[in-house]
Structure 1
């Protein structure tokens, strides 16, 4: 795996522990990203030094679904699917980045949710607030994978843009693995917008929204 740009401030290792979870026991390594002060985390199963075709999920923080259990998105289910996949394989990693709301932050995300209640989709809500469709960056993920000694990965994602951006940072991706989670009526419009306007590859397509069911 090629190293990221040497002129870029890089995420650095801070601490590590073993963590029992509902999915299994994982090694958790915390890092600090000097570019924004965030603390990305690697969730690790197995010895990753020299690993090839390793199952990896690069996942972005979602307070509303992962803490509050929101049904408006599928983020929590995607993370759980990825960790279960890693457990079944016996080796893999989740890279958890602190990029709430595709990088716009929690307060802006909640403001975007309010606009979605008025009929905007996830893309138009961001634009109405003067915010980008997607503000995420993945250089910390690239640095962390290099630090772990990973040679190549199979990336768990439905987002082709994420594949392209990680490859541009030197991550050797040999395969994209679909993240197959059930949608629900509350998340249908959001997932449809991701597929139709952001190019996400969703199979099967999302179900009808609540409004469509009521009509």
Structure 2
């Protein structure tokens, strides 16, 4: 595990999958590591909220890299797609009034997704990872990292089965934010 600190005060974590003998897990595909870039989510990762799929994605992402070799980059300051915890809780209140996650952010005068992947790209470059298989369902993350000099050799899906509490959230990700999610509890 490595911690990364940047001049703006942000701190991130990278974890490489290791064998019981302390060696890196061999990469399943021709030496190209799988990488999960996981955005901080206090409500999902720490408190187990069912409103999102973040906690299960974190767990599943770690399982994937342990199985096929690779890294987890845990990105701080990405709470609520980059709007921060306080604004995320404000967005939750709007969602409770019937707005979806995208509409709630926009109503608050915020962007649909304000995450910045520049520091993630710096970490990947410092780890010597310029060609990866990205564990994600989010094509915007793939595009952003590609624009920052990370070659994406393919996507590894990180799909979580929907629950009643997050079905609308996942539908919004799929239908309005182009996430590669083929299912919905409502279907």
TM-score by length of 2: 0.90
- Give the 4+ runs in structure 1 shifted more than 3 A: none
- Per-residue deviation, 1:45: 1.9
Residues 43/143 of structure 1: CA separation in 2 closer, same or farther (3 Å cut):
same
Matches within 5 A, 1:103-142: 103-142=82-121
Larger % of helix: which? 2
Is the 2:130–2:149 Cα contact (8 Å) retained in structure 1?
Answer: no
CA distance in 1 between counterparts of 2:17 and 2:102 reads 35
Report the RMSD for the aligned CA atoms in angstroms: 1.6
Cα distance in structure 1, aligned partners of 2:36 and 2:157: 11
1:80 matched to 2:45? The reply is: no
Task: Note the alpha carbon deviations across 1:115-145, whole angstroms, 9 max, x for none.
Answer: 0000000011011111111100111111111
Can you list the C-alpha shifts for 1:23-76, whole angstroms capped at 9, x where unaligned? xxxxx10011223x210110112449xx94211001100000111110000011
Larger gyration radius, structure 1 or structure 2? 1
Equivalent in the alignment of 2:180? 201
Question: 2:137 matched to which residue of 1?
Answer: 158
1:94 equivalenced with 2:67 (yes/no) = no
SS of 2:79 mapped into structure 1: coil
Structure 1 unaligned blocks of 5 or more: 1-27, 210-215
What's the offset of the Cα at 1:96?
0.6
User: Using the alignment, how far apart are the partners of 2:61 and 2:115 within structure 1?
Assistant: 20
- Contact kept, 8 Å, 1:58 with 1:94, in 2: the verdict is yes
* Other structure's SS at 1:101 match: helix
Asked if 1:38 corresponds to 2:10, the answer is yes
SS at match of 1:200: coil
Q: Distance in 2 between matches of 1:34 and 1:76?
A: 28
Match of 1:29 in 2: 2
Q: Which runs of 5+ in 2 are unaligned?
A: 19-23
